[in-house]
Amino acid sequence: MRNVHDVLVGPMLTEKGTMMKETDNKVLFKVSRSANKIEIKRAVEEIFKVKVDRVTTMNVLGKTKRMGKFEGKRPDWKKAIVKLKEGEKLDFVEGV
């Protein structure tokens, strides 16, 4: 079993994520590529002390970028959409 702090890389503070948080009570996280839904659910519940209803994950492929004649690739990463149970609330940025 892996450490819960290794599963979650960090929250994703985007416009789309803010809309999902306000309307559907869903929160976006950037997670470890090898993490599964059960580990993500356990990590969110343990770190933030909230109840999780559902976890949806997706693998995001890194873009290919060019710098003149040289070509490189950004790293692949994994995103998780965590739906909280009714009545639960999670705030990353408080007092702003």
Q: Which two tokens stand for residue 59?
A: 């693998």
Name which of 37, 35, 53 is nearest 90 in CA terms.
Answer: 53
Tell whether pTM > 0.85: yes
The total number of structural domains that make up the chain:
1
The domain that holds 69 is classified in CATH as 3.30.70.330
Q: In Å, how far are 12, 47, 58, 62, 68 from 73, measured between CA atoms?
A: 21, 32, 19, 6, 14
- Full domain range(s) for residue 39: 4-84
Phi, psi of 10 (to 5 degrees): 170, 165
Pairwise CA distance, residues 6 & 16, whole Å? 25
pLDDT in tens, 2-51: 788 899 999 999 999 999 999 999 999 999 999 999 999 999 999 999 99
Q: Is residue 92 part of a domain?
A: no
Residues present in the chain in total = 96
